[in-house]
Amino acid sequence: MSELKNDLLLKALKGENVVRPPVWMMRQAGRYLPEYIKLREKYDFFTRIKTPELATEITLQPIQRLGVDAAIIFSDILVIPQAMGLQVLMEEGKGPLLPNVIQSQKNIDALITDNVEEKLNYVFKALSLTKQELNGSVPLIGFAGAPFTILCYMIEGKGSKTWDKAKQFCFTESNLAHQLLQKITDVTIVYLKEQVSAGADVVQVFDSWSGCLSPEDFKIFAQPYLIHIANALKNIAPVILFPKGSWYALKDLSENRVCALGLDWCISSKSARELTGNKITLQGNFDPAKLLLPVNEIKKAVKKMIDEFGVQNYIANLGHGITPDVPVENAKAFVDAVKEYNCEL
Amino acid sequence: MSELKNDLLLKALKGENVVRPPVWMMRQAGRYLPEYIKLREKYDFFTRIKTPELATEITLQPIQRLGVDAAIIFSDILVIPQAMGLQVLMEEGKGPLLPNVIQSQKNIDALITDNVEEKLNYVFKALSLTKQELNGSVPLIGFAGAPFTILCYMIEGKGSKTWDKAKQFCFTESNLAHQLLQKITDVTIVYLKEQVSAGADVVQVFDSWSGCLSPEDFKIFAQPYLIHIANALKNIAPVILFPKGSWYALKDLSENRVCALGLDWCISSKSARELTGNKITLQGNFDPAKLLLPVNEIKKAVKKMIDEFGVQNYIANLGHGITPDVPVENAKAFVDAVKEYNCEL
């Protein structure tokens, strides 16, 4: 395997000194890019994800276009429910739909937890091919959804503002919920380890909906599974946990030798550094809605963000995925502002 | 005006000693009540809101059924955009729809800010009639949406998970946004003062969507207007501000002589007491999804919540509105648990 030419991300994750923070963007391979839209017109969602050549091409698009410091494999967190035997429908422009939701012990027993490596082989192939194409230019990030977030979809079958049904299931069928969370965790660990074997240098775990839980319930239904995953990967690859909205968990998670934590924009850098005792690498947290500002204002805001987080132990990113309406030049301004940071000193 | 027989809520808001915390529930007059459903089948949304006899009947339903310590007038935060000249459509089971969104200076100039008293006369009539019917049994709460939350609907025209368009408007058309926020604020102050004149003992301001703002942007687009409203009402009635999701603002708001702050469930009582320096009355924050638990578990969880918040300077409530799927007996268990609290000591 070739040495990485740009190892800023890995250095930041190890807590090593860098001249400027690394930068990448959640959903950087996505709908704001015209070259992605073109592929979307030709191939449906699962074709794009399951054809390694297409997934690779999409993964590389923002590297070429924006010059980000990391690639993140083009895939989806719902490949896990699918590999576990649940049907997942994905209609363009609409959210995901899982027609057969989990309701009972029987449903949980019926979930498949073996042969995941084989079923998700297309992801590993895409990672290997991307790794090869990257040729050591930047690190490659693999990812998975966190167990609680995957449970949300498995219980509700589609997106929700409040995830009340998923939470009610956790509260009223706590035994079943933990069985389900454990199964997802076990599969996710195998999945992430295999991603690393296939070429991922780093993995991120997205707990996109954990913010709907109270601090107390996060500790019951989200945190143990996140830590279980982080521990299982500890000697294998750096893990970034992103429990969106769960600011209250930052202290606990930072004390559990987790490698790095992702932040949304609803917490100041000061609070985040305080809660994590300045001892962990933080990633985030530019409000994606600010990418609609004029380019010079984006650059000013990014500079301010780095001033506040500091250059070390920091990965510049958005606080959530980039939205489809962002002009490419604005996305580029975000990346450029980070890359220009040191020059301004 | 008759003396209040049950003044627990007013005492808690004044910081006076109480034997147990007062209790009410956001959306306590709503779809989980069979008697409400019956009225809904006969009268559409705006008929229910705009007919003082119906609004009064609905407001009183949970008082009779659950024995809560306060009534909150049955109305909607979108009566303000409507009174300001925007069409508001409300289809049963769907969210609100404002077909003519605010996009320009011209749209803002066209908003009506006078004669609000006259246009919202139906609310004041409902308050007076309810006050009369309550006959001093419990205090009556009036309410309004916070300026930022009303701006969200005026810009987007319907509900949203992320309010990206509203935020982008604030960020990119900051001058227009502040003009709009100021107009809403001015109208809201007149509206709330008139509610008090008509019989409201307390008013609550719902910033339901402020949690989509970063701490920095909350200080620009939400906080000044909330404080402006709180100050304008200061010598008139106790004000409860509920900036849902904006935990990061609790410290600042508590230092601005705001009367009381509402909390969602995504903050522990300990953090909330710490952030507000133990010097303000807090309201909340039971996760509504927990009302699906068995009655004895609801009671245990409520007891724990009061143990943690403390009896004084506290109003027991949910962290958000009660959902339609909650059995009435579970809602009653929530209320009963608070009322039984002192007896258990």
Q: What is the predicted pLDDT for the residue at B147?
A: 98
- Residues of B in Cβ contact (< 8 Å) with A168: 289, 292
Contact B213, B147 (CB under 8 A): no
Contact B224, B252 (CB under 8 A): no
Q: Report residue A39: phi and psi, to 5°.
A: -70, -35
Given B161, B168, B293, which is nearest A289 (Cβ)?
B168
Interface probe for B, chosen from A148, A161, A165, A171 (most Cβ of B below 10 Å), is A171
Given B168, B268, B290, which is nearest A292 (Cβ)?
B168
Nearest of B34, B70, B28 to residue B320 by alpha carbon: B28
Whether A248 contacts chain B with CB within 8 A: yes
Q: What is the predicted pLDDT for the residue at A256?
A: 81
**Apex A165 CA angle, A217 and B284, nearest 5:** 50
Taking the C-alpha atoms of residue A301 and residue A313, their distance in angstroms, rounded to an integer, is 19
Taking the C-alpha atoms of residue B75 and residue B59, their distance in angstroms, rounded to an integer, is 9
**Apex B210 CA angle, B178 and B272, nearest 5:** 130
- Residues of A in Cβ contact (< 8 Å) with B156: none
Residue linked to tokens 């705009």: B50
Q: What is the predicted pLDDT for the residue at B150?
A: 98
What 3-state class would DSSP assign to A203? Answer: strand
Whether A287 contacts chain B with CB within 8 A: yes
- Residues of A in Cβ contact (< 8 Å) with B247: 247
The residue-averaged pLDDT of B98-104 equals 97
Taking the C-alpha atoms of residue B233 and residue B196, their distance in angstroms, rounded to an integer, is 9
Q: Is the dihedral of CA B97, B218, A209, A140 positive or negative?
A: positive
- Residues of B in Cβ contact (< 8 Å) with A247: 247
- Closest-CA distance of chain B to residue A12, Å: 25
Q: What is the predicted pLDDT for the residue at B2?
A: 54
Do the chains contact at B271 and A287, CB–CB below 8 Å?
no
Taking the C-alpha atoms of residue A168 and residue A163, their distance in angstroms, rounded to an integer, is 9
- Distance from the first to the final alpha carbon of chain B: 35
Contact A130, A60 (CB under 8 A): yes
Taking the C-alpha atoms of residue A88 and residue A220, their distance in angstroms, rounded to an integer, is 27
Nearest CA in chain B to A326: B168
Region of B6 (left: φ > 0; alpha: ψ -120 to 50; beta: rest) is beta
ipTM for the whole complex: 0.94
Region of A298 (left: φ > 0; alpha: ψ -120 to 50; beta: rest) is alpha
Q: What is the predicted pLDDT for the residue at A279?
A: 87
Residue B1: is its pLDDT beyond 90?
no
Do the chains contact at B248 and A265, CB–CB below 8 Å?
no
Q: What is the predicted pLDDT for the residue at A258?
A: 76
Residue B343: is its pLDDT beyond 70?
no
Q: What is the pLDDT of residues B185-234, one digit of tens each?
A: 999 999 999 999 999 999 999 999 999 999 999 999 999 999 999 999 99
Residue B17: is its pLDDT beyond 90?
yes
Q: Which two tokens stand for residue A108?
A: 């949980």
Taking the C-alpha atoms of residue B97 and residue B87, their distance in angstroms, rounded to an integer, is 8
Q: What is the pLDDT of residues B127-176, one digit of tens each?
A: 999 999 999 999 999 999 999 999 999 999 999 989 999 999 999 999 99
Q: Which residues pair with B90 in a beta bridge?
A: B96
Residue B112: is its pLDDT beyond 90?
yes
- Residues of A in Cβ contact (< 8 Å) with B323: 164
Classify domain B8-344 at the CATH topology level: TIM Barrel (3.20.20)
Given B214, B319, B323, which is nearest A266 (Cβ)?
B214
Given A214, A215, A267, which is nearest B248 (Cβ)?
A267
SS3 content of chain B, % helix, strand, coil (to 5): 50, 10, 35
The CA dihedral of B104, B109, B115, B118, to the nearest 10 degrees, is -20
Residue B9: is its pLDDT beyond 70?
yes
List the catalytic residues of B: 27, 31, 40, 76, 153
Whether A335 contacts chain B with CB within 8 A: no
Listed as ranges, residues in chain A with pLDDT below 70 are: 1-2, 343-345
